[in-house]
Structure 1
């Protein structure tokens, strides 16, 4: 059966809110795997780390597979030390979002994360040779490219199917700069933007979102109409990115469509109700600009 994965929370949520969110997700029967950990900014890590053990215990008791996700950009000795500690963790699967983490795994099983830029069969084969047993593909790939990679993969293939997409990571903090602050003196202002800060063109058209040092899509990916086709092409898992919406209900819609219990068009209407104000897109999977929404015809 095709599985549903909940990606790590990419935003700066308060620790108590983050813990309570994961506790609710533990009770969601439609999620098979749940990712934890700070991916975007190591300055947030001290706030996240204290809740990780109790969250892992709660998720494990609920029968969820738990994956610890790494930082996407490792630049300092402190961050490298954190990566080494993560790679050495026992009894839990690790997702590498920086190639150095994949190297640190030294052949032990790991997940190749969506920020590793896996666009061809050679890169996929190299990571699988390093120990990757699951690969979450970048969102920019069209369906034919996804199918080609799935046909060559030895492990599982995962596709991002819901939420604002992580596009790039930087050494600079956009959220701080927007408020005339430095990265070192950021005052953690990224927490003010619970699901990212919209960025507009000079014509005041929103086209990206900023999450601290991370650039994201403004639009929310939704592949509800493409789930069945992609699953038939060899996709084993679909990833949902957490947002301040009823994520258990979102997961329920994706599960119902995958199981053939709900029509994709009706599920899309319900998803819009769950995500007021969100604009949806699926252009990448059709080989079109990512911000476009194409009616399902795969």
Structure 2
């Protein structure tokens, strides 16, 4: 991208405008070629999303972009007016992983999204923190404890675990009585509103195993599956998606029609997890529905022709089986 390079933490703790949902583009979870990543972020700059999370979350062996590259990309995105957050790896396994996390904690330009509870002590009180969806925050007491880890650093955002029903989110961090940071700022709640649900991480690489390859000699076969490797049941029903060391749901969580329920739950930000095709339209449509009153069903009808993956699900949000799907207004 051809943009000036400057980055700042200024404004990263600004809440969404009253009555408006902030839109966050989550980290790319799949292994995409370097040029595909750069093209994706060049397009993301033009979307209504105000926050972009960058960095490798799933596998430390994926090195299309290294930390200096991510930092330079983040500077470009920040210069274009986006709030940038660095994503930390979800599963810390080696000394090299810890050294990378240490370097993320030492940089001063961007907040860091914590993904592993064991790594929090390296980040606490050193950088502004986003509490990512992989942390086990399932109660108000847990959110209060975690919110204190960014003491004095100014950022307070919590991405609720993907399987939490909206009424549980409302009980943990209600809009009328939000958890606050030590500086007194309300913690913003962000909900996983679009994307395949991350179910588990493992030290084993299931994509490599599928191809009968050892993890350390995988040949980066996951780069062949820009939206993950779909797995069906013996009855030919979509079941799971393999993404290297990550297992995802086959269904794509989609809360496009849940605007009023999200607002009632105290959610102020929507997390949109990238897919390989049609994602810019997804972001545009979430903005149109959540912030401009457009009809969800009309927007959803156009996605299949763009290659947006499905099927969709919203059962978790409604305290039902996660794979259930029903469209609301």
TM-score by length of 2: 0.86
The match for 1:57 is 75
The match for 2:11 is none
Alpha-carbon distance in structure 1 between the residues aligned to 2:197 and 2:309: 16
- Quote the RMSD (CA, aligned, Å): 1.7
CA deviations 1:165-192 (Å, max 9, x no partner) are 1111000000000010000111101111
2:301 partner SS: helix
Structure 1 residues 90, 252: closer, same or farther in 2, change over 3 A? same
Alpha-carbon distance in structure 1 between the residues aligned to 2:196 and 2:35: 23
The match for 1:222 is 254
Question: Structure 2 residue aligned with 1:34, among 41, 52, 56?
Answer: 52
1:9 partner SS: coil
- Contact 2:202 2:246 survives alignment (8 Å): yes
Alpha-carbon distance in structure 1 between the residues aligned to 2:266 and 2:222: 37
Question: Structure 2 residue aligned with 1:262, among 291, 294, 300?
Answer: 294
Question: Structure 2 residue aligned with 1:243, among 275, 287, 296?
Answer: 275
CA deviations 1:228-270 (Å, max 9, x no partner) are 3212331010000001122221111000111233112212223
The match for 2:285 is 253
Question: Structure 1 residue aligned with 2:321, among 286, 289, 292?
Answer: 289
Q: Which residues of structure 2 form unaligned runs of 5+?
A: 1-19, 181-186
Quick check: 233-242 or 271-280, which moved more?
A: 271-280
Alpha-carbon distance in structure 2 between the residues aligned to 1:289 and 1:56: 37
1:34 partner SS: strand
Identify the structure with the greater helix proportion.
1
1:205 aligns with 2:237: yes
- Contact 1:97 1:114 survives alignment (8 Å): yes
1:110 aligns with 2:136: no
Structure 1 residues 277, 73: closer, same or farther in 2, change over 3 A? closer
Matched residue count: 296
Q: After TM superposition, give the deviation of residue 276 of structure 1 in Å.
A: 5.0
Question: Structure 1 residue aligned with 2:166, among 135, 143, 148?
Answer: 143
Q: After TM superposition, give the deviation of residue 87 of structure 1 in Å.
A: 1.5
The match for 2:7 is none
Question: Structure 2 residue aligned with 1:78, among 68, 78, 96?
Answer: 96
- Contact 2:316 2:322 survives alignment (8 Å): yes
1:153 aligns with 2:171: no
Q: After TM superposition, give the deviation of residue 53 of structure 1 in Å.
A: 3.4
Q: After TM superposition, give the deviation of residue 202 of structure 1 in Å.
A: 2.3
TM-score by length of 1: 0.94
Q: After TM superposition, give the deviation of residue 50 of structure 1 in Å.
A: 5.1
Q: Which residues of structure 1 form unaligned runs of 5+?
A: none
